[in-house]
Every structure is written in structure tokens, then in C-alpha cells.
Structure 1
Amino acid sequence: MLSASARRSAARQFPLRLTTGAFFLNSGISKLRADEATAEGLQQFAAMTYPFLKKQDAEKFARLLSVGELAIAATLLVPVVPAAVAGAALTAFSVATLGLYLRTPGMREEGSLRPTEQGIALAKDVWLLGIGVALVADGVTEHEHR
């Protein structure tokens, strides 16, 4: 049986894990069905910031991205996965996407962290970073209380 502290922690985490997990589930499923043009667009965009991805086959890249997003969805949506593990996966993914935001020309206003119209889609990943860090912190403090 869960302690009162563990139940409170699970209740706090539930909305974060459910909404973020559902978002990743949808995104991962969508990329599974990516056509060639979509796969190439994803791969080329990512390769602007992460040049080693230029060598990757576009369709394979889209599949790997999809599988990664589905794996993150699973860590968030399966309640037995510790919060720290789910949060670490989410944090790592969001750091990579924020790297795209920070390093891709046209995503930010000149000399600022403020997003341009085109940058909003990536700038929102700062929320994912916050959720990931919150889950890690909650998981670590929950573990310390045991």
C-alpha cells in the first residue's frame, strides 16, 4: 500500500504525466505515418542544428523520432515508471528541441530569447523542460522520504 506522501505525489504528478504523455503519444503515432516529404522535412530541420543527422536516412530518422516519442509517452503514461525516470526522459527530449530553438536561425527575435512566429512551436518546449524537471525533483524527493 502506498504511503500518504506517495499518494499525494502520485496525485500531483497525474495531470502532468497524463497530458504530456498524451501529447507525446499523438505526436509519435503521427510520425509513424509520416510520408517521404514529411520525413525529409523533419530530418533536414533537425540537421540544421545537429549536423550529424545529415547522414541519416530521412524515413529512418522519422521512425526513430516516432519511437522515441512513443517511448517517452510510455514512461509518462505507465504509472509504475518512477517519476524521476519519466522526468529524465522528458527533460532530455526537451533539451534537444530547445537546442533547435536556440540554434536555428529565424526561431528567435534578433538578440533576444523571444520567439518569432516560426519559433513558437519550439519555444513551447520550455514547458516540457519544466514538467520534466518537476517530475525528476518530485521523484527524487519521493525516493528520499522512503
Structure 2
Amino acid sequence: MRFRPRLHQLPPRLATGAFILNSGLSKRNADKDTAAALHGMASTAYPFLGSRDPEEFVRTLSRAEIAVGAALLLPVVPSFVAGAALAAFSGGLVGMYLRIPGMREEGGLRPTEQGLPVAKDVWMLGIGAGLVLEDLLNGRRG
């Protein structure tokens, strides 16, 4: 069966896909300081990443963002698949927001000024979950 994207899914897929693809492309040639900063933030939230080389970590992150962005932008990729990739990726970002000290106001979920750039990623989690849920509820997965 040939996949046909639903028209109403295209705006969130295109906007989110372009945003993530751009982010991934901008990290392709990250310098050592940028790599160290991104790796430090990620390994604070996810300590198992601490043993990874910062530059290799950023190359992997770049590839992941490019893949997720491309999956969202390419209408031949089923919304279930693109949405699942987006939900997994953005779930990791939201996890960073929840785990890194100083990102949230004490005792709540409201972001601090420092946490705002990461807290905004919750919209990507919502879009990914919406794409997956719609396909699950409509019995479409590919």
C-alpha cells in the first residue's frame, strides 16, 4: 500500500523538520568549545554520555538531528515513523530540561531564563506524539 500524507499533518511536519534539520546541519562542523558545551550539558542530564568523546558526541547528535529532520520533511516517510522519531528525540531534550539543575523554578515545571531554550522543546514532543497517536487511532502505521 502506498503511503499518502494527510494534508493537515504537513504544516507541523515541515516546520519542525526544517527547524531540526537546520539544527543538525549547524552542528556538523562544531568547534571544540561548542562540542564541549553541548556534551557537558547532555552528560549532566545523562551521565552515561560522560565517557563519550565530545566531538564524536556532537557528530552523532548532528546526524540524528539531520535524520529526524529529513524524516519529517520527506512526505514518503509515514507520519507514524516520523512522529515516533521526533517523539523519541524530543523526549530526550525534555528529559534534559527536567534533569539539569537551574533549568526550572524550584518546586515546579516553569522554566528559568536559562531553561527556556530547552523547555520550548516540549512542542516537538507534542507534535511527535500527535503524529503517532493519530496513526494509532486511525489504524495506520505505514
TM-score range, shorter chain: over 0.9
What letter is aligned with 1:90? L
SS in 2 for 1:47: helix
| Residue 95 in structure 1 maps to residue 95 in structure 2 | no
Larger mean Cα displacement after TM superposition, 18-27 or 134-143: 134-143
Q: In the alignment, is the contact (CA less than 8 A) between 1:49 and 1:99 conserved in 2?
A: yes
Larger mean Cα displacement after TM superposition, 108-117 or 133-142: 133-142
Note the C-alpha offset of 1:139: 2.3
Partner of 1:114: 110
Within 5 Å, give how 1:1-146 maps onto structure 2. 10-144=6-140
The separation in 2 between residues aligned to 1:143 and 1:26, in whole angstroms, is 32
TM-score of the superposed pair, with normalisation by structure 1? 0.90
Going by fraction, where is helix more abundant, 1 or 2?
1
Q: Any stretches of 5+ residues in structure 2 without a counterpart? A: none
The separation in 2 between residues aligned to 1:62 and 1:116, in whole angstroms, is 25
Note the C-alpha offset of 1:45: 0.7
TM-score of the superposed pair, with normalisation by structure 2? 0.93
SS in 1 for 2:103: coil
The separation in 1 between residues aligned to 2:134 and 2:66, in whole angstroms, is 23
Which contiguous aligned blocks of 4+ residues in structure 1 show a shift greater than 3 angstroms? Answer: 141-144
Aligned residues: CA RMSD: 1.7
SS in 2 for 1:118: coil
Deviations 1:11-53 (A, max 9, x none): 1100000000000110000000210100011001100011111
When the two structures are aligned, how many residues end up with a matched partner?
A: 140
SS in 1 for 2:104: coil
Q: In the alignment, is the contact (CA less than 8 A) between 1:82 and 1:139 conserved in 2?
A: no
